Each structure stands twice: as structure tokens, then as C-alpha cells.
Amino acid sequence: MSTIEKPQLDLNQIRNDFPILKQTINGHPLVYMDNAATSQKPKTVIDSISNYYSEYNSNVHRGVHTLSQLATDLFEKSRESVSHFISSESSANIIWTRNTTESLNLVARTWGEENLSSGDNIVLTSMEHHSNLLPWQKLAQDKKAELRFIPVLKDGTLDLNQVESLITDKTKLVSIVHTSNSLGTINPVKKIGEIAHKHNAKILVDGAQSVPHEPVDVIDLDCDFLAFSSHKMLGPTGIGVLYVKNSILENMEPFFRGGEMVLQATLKDATWNELPMRFEAGTPNIADVIGFDAAIEYLNKIGMSNIHNHEKSLVEYALKQFKKLDNVTVYGPEDAEKRGGIISFYSANLHPHDIGTFLDSYGIAVRTGHHCTMPLMKILGVPATARASLYLYNTTKEIDVLVETLQEAIRYFTHAKR
Ligand SMILES: Cc1ncc(COP(=O)(O)O)c(C=O)c1O
């Protein structure tokens, strides 16, 4: 990370950069705590998208005219920024997709199709988002391969004692969520990757909830694949990233076929463009790639370690405040060091959807439901949870508002039931 990290966040300044945070919802100041679903966007991101359309809208990679060259330069500059952001070997290792989900499917349908055979296995965890489960279910069915799961312990961490026996010489891929979107747990993906590599298996990291919140360095992690989404890290929707290590990328077949990804075509066959364009068929989402660059610039300016530390102190504070709530269970590790800024909670007396609606009437946005982790909900023994997920612009004062409103909700619904 090239940025000089500042010791503390200037929350007034940061909040001022996000136009949406200035509004009231149902007569109350917006308290936005649904960042794990999608984050808000600073004005610089919104402006950069608007500037593209109003000043140099044109297609990339194919025009000799000025506008097309400008668009191409900024489109590729964004790829460079993402590459630096995760310390990857080069921008050629960065493939644009639509989102984390598409990145994961791309690996399953290209590398997975080519490298899995009957009798092989893929190791996942029981806390995976459906996006890092369903593509492997389909691949395993097609290839007659086995899916194995590292279990989740009661404290919301992985049962690491089982990793050594689950990963074997038949394991081709270990695909693991870095920070759980339902529990907040930060998983030791580097350590698990070392075990995978001992068996010549590849490690894929689902970074949807980690890359936006802490420094992630693919060389240090030594991961083979990393997937994440722009929209969860201040950038626009419609842009995802797949990082692939050089040695693997060079041998991967294209996912989609068509314009842009081709070098030579005859009526019978074709050869592929250089990397990473081989994986980017058709006109890409130019405006949002450029908008994503503005998001990366914003995050770099604040400093990823500063963001991570801010969220850690928020979560530590929130965990303490939640103890004031009667009959409310908070999931995930108690130690703030082991978790990101995600607080999932459940009360047998209150349905999570009622909590969500009640909080909304006070301007507080949280998520309720299974968070696309149905198997994990089953393990926790709950139908759903309410989830407050934090980011760089959240404050301890907002946590106070959340906890006070939850106390009010508990009073309200307990009374209503009598
Ligand atoms: C851990 C995790 N993985 C994958 C995804 C899928 O991300 P997207 O919807 O951007 O494809 C999410 C989204 O919430 C997530 O939290």
C-alpha cells in the first residue's frame, strides 16, 4: 500500500463526502448499517461516472479517435489501481467481471472444468455464501467429485483441527470465504492455503467482505484466485474482480467467447487475445470500471489499515453495548481481533424481519434474513438473523442509536405479545 496511513479517521470529513448520508429516513437521520450488502458511494465516484458519460463516452480498445483513447487509458488505469490495491503481480492478473458471484462461476466453469476429475474433491467451509457454494455443487455433480466442508465451531470460527484431514492429495481446490458475511469471522486463509499447496491443491479466497475492509495482499496470502466486488467497497455496482495467479491464468480457457477477447478468427476457429482481455468478451462496463478507480483512490487516501482499525474499534464497542440487550444472541467470535465489522444477532422473542422494520421506522438500515448462507443458518439453529454491518463512515454514536432503538423494539414487541 503506497499511501501513508493516517492515525485516525476524520469522520466529519468522511461523512461529508457521501451525499446519501445527509438525508433523513422516516424523519430520522439515516444510520446506514447494511454495508455488507452494498456500501455507499462518495461524491468522487458518482462524479467520475457522470464525467465519463458527459465528457468522453466511447468504446474502449478499438478506437483510434481521441475519446476512445481517453476512455481506454482510464479504463486500464483502473485495472492498474486494482492491481496495486491487492499487490498483484501485474494488471494482467486482474479480470473484470460483474461481481464476486461471476468471478467464482468463471473459475468453476473454466479452471474447474479443465482440472477436476471423478474422485477429486473440493474443500469449502460450512459458512460459505451461496455464491461460493452453488458453483462448486454444480461442478462436483458434473465431474462426480466430492464436496467437503470445514465445520464451524460454536464461537463462529472454523474447526482448524479438521483441515489437515479434509485436505488430501485428491483435493484440487480449497475455496474459502475470507471474512464471513454472516458471522464477521476473519478466517486464516493464508494458513489454510499453505496446507492446500502442500497437497498441490489451489486456494481461492472469497474476498467480498475482506478486500473492502482491510489490507489484502495476494502475494503475501499466496492465494491462487481472489474474488471481490466493487459495490461493497465504495464503487459502483456491476463491476467485480477476479485475480488469478500467473501460472494458472496462462493455461485457462476463455469463459465467454465473442468480440474483444479474440486475436484471429476464421470461419472455423479462433485464437485468443492477450491476457486478461481473453476473459473479457464484448463491450465492458466502462463507466463503472472508471468509477471503481475513484473508489480505490478514495480508500487509498484514507488508508486500508486505518479503515480496518476504525471498524475494529467500532465492533469492540458494539459488542459491549449489545450485552445490554436482554435475550439477544450475537454470533461470531467475541474477540474483535478475529472479526470484521459485521454483527449478526437473533432474539427468540423477536422475528428478525420485525426488528428490521422497526429499525427502519427510526431511519436505521440493517439486513434481515439468511444472508445467502442458508446452510449456516441451519447450523446456528435460526431461521434468519438481523445484521448490522459497518464501514468507514459509521460512528459509535450510530451504534448507540442502534442499541437504544433495539431496546425500544424489545420493549415494544414484548408489550405487544402480552
Ligand atoms: C462473502 C460473500 N461472498 C460473495 C458475495 C456475492 O457478492 P456479489 O453479490 O457482489 O456477487 C457476497 C455478497 O454479499 C458475500 O458477502
> What pLDDT was estimated at residue 418?
60
User: Any catalytic annotation for residue 372?
Assistant: yes
The CA distance from 373 to 377, in Å, is 6
Residues with pLDDT less than 70, the chain: 1-7, 417-418
Provide the 8-state DSSP code for 52: I
Which one-letter DSSP state was computed for residue 252? Answer: P
Residue 260: what pLDDT? 87
What distance in Å separates the CA atoms of residue 160 and residue 134, rounded to the nearest whole number?
A: 23
Q: What is the pLDDT of residue 5?
A: 45
- CA–CA distance, 54 with 49 (Å, rounded to integer): 9
Catalytic residue, from 372, 375, 383, 407: name it. Answer: 372
Pairwise CA distance, residues 284 & 289, whole Å: 8
User: What one-character-per-residue DSSP string does 111-128 give?
Assistant: IIHHH--TT-EEEEETT-
Structural domains in the chain plus CATH codes: 11-43+303-409 (3.90.1150.10), 46-300 (3.40.640.10)
Enter the C-alpha cell of residue 387. 445484521
Helix (H) or strand (E) segment spanning residue 306: helix 304-322
Q: What is the pTM of this model?
A: 0.96
User: What is the model's pLDDT at position 7?
Assistant: 52
Ligand 1 atom at minimum distance from 231 CA: 10
The residues with which 303 forms a beta bridge, in sequence order, are: none
With contact defined as beta carbons under 8 Å apart, do 218 and 87 qualify? Answer: yes
Q: What is the pLDDT of residues 203-222, one digit of tens each?
A: 999 999 999 999 999 999 99
- Cell representation of residue 151: 465445520
Q: DSSP letter for 58, please.
A: -
CB atoms within 10 A of CB 7: 7
For residue 96, the model assigns a pLDDT of 98
Atom of ligand 1 minimally distant from the CA of 180: 1
Q: Which of ligand 1's atoms lies nearest the C-alpha of 179?
A: 1
> Are 406 and 357 in contact, with CB atoms under 8 Å apart?
no
Give whole-number Cα distances, 378 to 152, 185, 343, 352, 367, in Å: 12, 17, 18, 15, 18
Residues with CB under 6 A from ligand 1: 36, 99-101, 129, 131-132, 177, 181, 206, 208-209, 229
Q: Could you give the CA distance from residue 124 to residue 134 in angstroms, rounded to a whole number?
A: 11
Q: Going by CA atoms, what residue is nearest to atom 15 of ligand 1?
A: 208
344 strand-pairing partners: 387
226 C-alpha to ligand 1 centroid (Å): 12
